[in-house]
Each structure stands twice: as structure tokens, then as C-alpha cells.
Structure 1
Amino acid sequence: MQITTTTTTRTLRPGSRAPRIIGSLLLLVGIGLLLGSGFAIWSEVKFRRIAVETDGRVVDMLRSSSRDRDGRSSVTYKPVFVFRLPEGKEIRVEGGVSSNPPCCRVGDVVRVRYDPARPDHAQMTGFMESWFVATLLGGMGLVFTLIAGVALRISGKAGAVALPGTAPAVGGNMMTFAVPLVGLRREGAGHATQWILQARWQDPRSGVPRLFESPPLPFDPVPQMRQMTAVNIQFDPGDPNSPYAMDLSFLQAPGDDPDATIAVGPVRRG
């Protein structure tokens, strides 16, 4: 006695959890970088509200060198500038950003922005001093977040793989997916015991899970499913309440008549 449905049988193994783990880690890094960028922007805006501008002069270029893991060296230059307060006191400050090529030369006159309450808290005007850090962190955060979104989208699709070439059985946007098996529920006792297969699918767009259950089976299907991790189910992935049909044609029910068949019955609703 065989249980059949109208769909074809093809079992696919669900994907690895690695994309979800990697995506979650990248998302945390991306969010952290974006928060750092936001803090840098907030700090710059706050500083500008209290800062005073004046002219300054570059008096030195600090040279620093470093080597990468391949042994190649690189050199950057950081400006040192001075400016005078209204009472005539001279303040000497190192720039906050090193670059190559250098941003300026010794002797150049530059505009300086400083905090009147803390004159040593000063910076040269311009993009590099004002917005470079915020732009760098924001750009890196955006890249990490986009990569994380792709990885999480892949992980969401890994749990249920659409089978090409399967025609919808009940109009609409019905499609066939290999949905991971998650459990087996028993009802009744003794000779009246029935078994119900359970499979869970997660919408890769909304993340909302959906539980599918088979029609009650008069026998234990586990011995015939030891190598299986998923079962084919036909449903509309865009409608969480769409009807669905679970393909159980791989099961062979025990009985005296091996040629007899039992139809699963009408399409079930989620």
C-alpha cells in the first residue's frame, strides 16, 4: 500500500548555518562602524558650535613609517601648526590625520578652528580633519552591513530550496520547496496511533517561520526516512495562509496489498 500525491519526489538537504553566523557577525561589525561614524559626526558638529576660527601656520611635518606583513614600507606625514590667541599666547598643536602625499608644507598659512575654553583642542579646517574619520567609518559600516544582508538572505533561502520545473497545483503562485523536517507528532494509542510529519520553513524576506504538518499516517514513517532531512511541499511563499500539499509518495505503507494506493486527500491549509 503506497501513499502518493501529485507532486514529484526530490529531497534536498538544507544549507549550512555558516552564512547566518557570518552574516550576524558582519552585521554587528557594520552596526558598530555606523555608530562610530554617527558619533564622529556628532562630535564634529558639537565642536563647530563652540569653535572659533583664526589663521595659523604650519611649522613642522612629522614623518612616520610602517611596514606591512610583506615587508613593504610606507611613509605618512602629519602637520604641526601654531596659532595665536587674542591675548597673544601661541598654541602649538599636532594635526589629527596623517597622509601621503602630505596635506601641506612647512610655512603654509592655514585656517584653524579651536575651542576657546581649551585652545589646545584645535584642528585645521578642511575635509581631512573634519570629516575623514566619519566618512571612513560610515563607508566601511555600509559595506559590512550590505555584505551581512546578502549573507543573511542566503541563509534564509538555504532552509528551503525551490525546485525548478514544478507546476503549481492550485493556482496563484504555488511553488515546490524542499522544507527541512523538524519533528514527528504522535496521536492516539495502540492500534489507533497515527503519526504526523512536521516541517518548518522560514520566509527569507520577513523571517517569519511557517510550520507544515502531513495528514495523519497509520504507521511510523521514521524507518523509511532515516537519510532524509527535508520533504517537498507545494505552497505560495508570498501568502502565509496559502493551502499546501506535502509530497509523501516516497512512503510505502505496510499491508497485504502492495499495489494498493491511498491518496493524501485534499490540499491542506497552513
Structure 2
Amino acid sequence: MKKTKAALWMFVIVGVLLLVSAVVVYSQRVTELSTMIPADGTVVAMSDKGCLTVQFKTFENRPVQFGGNVCQRPPAYDLEERVPVLYSPQNPNNAYIDDITHKWFFSIAMGGMALGFLGIGGVFVWVVTLNGWRAERRMNRLKMTGRQLNALLMGAERDETINLNGQNPWRIVAQWLDPNTNQVRLFYSKHFWFDPSPYLTGKHIQVWIDPQRPQHYCIDTDILPKLA
């Protein structure tokens, strides 16, 4: 379980790093573009992968060719099509096609991946945290307002309905005979990722149950140690 939580947190961490990288790349590109000047270019070559080669003339009328930094299929422009260009006066070979894709591709790509990682990791971390918080809140409420039962301790068993990384968690099992209906009720504790059997003492264990909603209950597991 801890490995699963760690993996989920890794999604969040990777997402944050990608988002920071996207912001840094965006800021650097904004600074770079602020020093560039526009020109009219023409697509003079195109590879099978949709990579463009563009030619333009500087304000000194010097011809310059550069490769587009984004390859697309189908290509965004046709051969010999005119395209807007931005270039650095100090280094004309440092040039971009003046459109959203070619100027902001890396920022958009990293930002999209960041949102994906943050979305996946964040949702699952939130669900795991929220479920844990709800379970603890329900247990505290039942201890204050629920009916306390002295249930017969049956021991601990593996819950084979749950499998994480090839392992099944443990749970405590208890039963109680309802004198009003002469029916036996089974109670199952929350899951543990260690065998709690050696730490269970006595023949009985406390259970709190909601009289109005008997399916809501909790077993007293405070007697158990915490997993390091």
C-alpha cells in the first residue's frame, strides 16, 4: 500500500516539475521573442515527417534559412507558402515561424503533460486521503454516538478481494449474536498491511455500531501498533 501511495505521489511530483519547467521555458521564450523582429519567409523545403525549412531575408537583405522546430503531419504550411517569421537581429539563424505552435510548442506540451500527471496523481491522492479522513471521522462519531458491543474475536484473515502489488491486506474478523433476532453479525475491521494476529489478545473486541444504520460500524483497532 505504501508503494502504491508513493507511486501516486510521484505522479504529483513529476507533474509539479513539468509545470515548473513549462513556466520557465515560457518565461525564457517571452524574453527571447521580445528582442526579435518580424520578417516575411517562404517554405523552401519539406521533409517526409513534415519538418519545414523556411527562408527569409534580414533587414540587411541577407538570405537566411532555418528549420522549423516542430514537425507536423499533415504539415501546417505548403511548399512555397509565405509564412511570418521572427528572428534575432544579433543572430538571424535564431528564428521561429511566427505562429502559436512553433513559438509555444514546448511550453504547451510540458504544460499538458504536467496537467495530466497532476490530474491523475492529484485525484488518486485526494481520494485516498479523503477516504482515510472519512473513515477516521466515522469511527470517531460512532465511538461517541454509536452502540458499543462486546464482540467475539475470531482472529485475522487476508482479504483476497483486494490485491495490490501481488499482496492481500489483513483484516480483523469478529462476530456478535444479536439477542433480539438470534442472528449472528459479522464485523470486519479496516485493512492492515501486516499480520495483526500476534497483537490480538483476549477473546473479545469492542465494536461500535450505528443503531439506525447497522451496516455502519467500526472495530476498535487502537490496541494494535502502527506500521513503521
The answer to whether structure 1 residue 99 and structure 2 residue 72 are counterparts is yes
Deviation at 1:247, TM superposition (A): 3.7
Give the 5 Å matches for 1:28-107.
28-63=13-48, 76-107=49-80
Deviation at 1:32, TM superposition (A): 1.8
Deviation at 1:149, TM superposition (A): 1.6
The answer to whether structure 1 residue 225 and structure 2 residue 189 are counterparts is no
Give the 5 Å matches for 1:179-258.
225=200, 247=220
Deviation at 1:40, TM superposition (A): 2.1
Give the structure with the larger helix fraction.
2
Q: Partners in 2 of 1:161 and 1:79 — Cα distance? A: 56
Of the three residues 22, 26, 36, the one matched with 2:7 is 22
Q: Partners in 1 of 2:105 and 2:86 — Cα distance? A: 16
Q: Partners in 2 of 1:26 and 1:232 — Cα distance? A: 38
Deviation at 1:108, TM superposition (A): 0.7
Q: Partners in 2 of 1:25 and 1:167 — Cα distance? A: 33
Q: Identity of aligned pairs, percent?
A: 22
Deviation at 1:153, TM superposition (A): 2.8
Deviation at 1:44, TM superposition (A): 1.9
Q: Partners in 1 of 2:102 and 2:200 — Cα distance? A: 65
Deviation at 1:38, TM superposition (A): 0.8
AA matched with 2:38: E
Secondary structure in 2 aligned to 1:106? coil
Q: Partners in 1 of 2:199 and 2:53 — Cα distance? A: 77
Where relative contact order (Cα < 8 A, 6+ residues apart) is larger, the structure is 1
- Judged with a 3 Å threshold, the aligned counterparts in structure 2 of structure 1 residues 38 and 224 are, in CA distance, closer, same or farther, namely closer
Deviation at 1:35, TM superposition (A): 1.6
Q: Partners in 2 of 1:105 and 1:127 — Cα distance? A: 17
Q: Partners in 1 of 2:198 and 2:58 — Cα distance? A: 87
- Judged with a 3 Å threshold, the aligned counterparts in structure 2 of structure 1 residues 168 and 104 are, in CA distance, closer, same or farther, namely same
Query: Which residue of the partner structure matches residue 118 of structure 1?
Result: 91
Q: Partners in 2 of 1:104 and 1:55 — Cα distance? A: 14
Number of corresponding residues: 160
Deviation at 1:166, TM superposition (A): 9.9
Q: Partners in 2 of 1:137 and 1:49 — Cα distance? A: 22
Q: Partners in 1 of 2:46 and 2:92 — Cα distance? A: 21
AA matched with 2:19: L
Query: Contact 1:19–1:152 at 8 Å: present in 2 too?
Result: no
Query: Which residue of the partner structure matches residue 263 of structure 1?
Result: none
Deviation track 1:63-122 (CA, whole Å, cap 9, x = no partner) reads 2xxxxxxxxxxxx21110111112221111000000001011111111100011111000
Deviation at 1:128, TM superposition (A): 1.0
Gaps of 5+ in 2: 149-196, 210-217, 224-228
Q: Partners in 2 of 1:103 and 1:224 — Cα distance? A: 68
Q: Partners in 2 of 1:224 and 1:116 — Cα distance? A: 76
Gaps of 5+ in 1: 1-15, 64-75, 177-221, 235-244, 251-270
Query: Which residue of the partner structure matches residue 170 of structure 1?
Result: 144
What TM-score do the two structures reach when normalised by structure 1?
Answer: 0.51
Query: Which residue of the partner structure matches residue 144 of structure 1?
Result: 117
Query: Contact 1:17–1:155 at 8 Å: present in 2 too?
Result: no
- Name whichever of 76-85 and 148-157 sits farther off: 148-157
Runs (4+) of structure 1 moved beyond 3 Å?
A: 154-161, 163-171, 231-234, 245-248
Deviation track 1:230-251 (CA, whole Å, cap 9, x = no partner) reads x9789xxxxxxxxxx9948x9x
- Judged with a 3 Å threshold, the aligned counterparts in structure 2 of structure 1 residues 167 and 40 are, in CA distance, closer, same or farther, namely closer
Secondary structure in 1 aligned to 2:76? coil
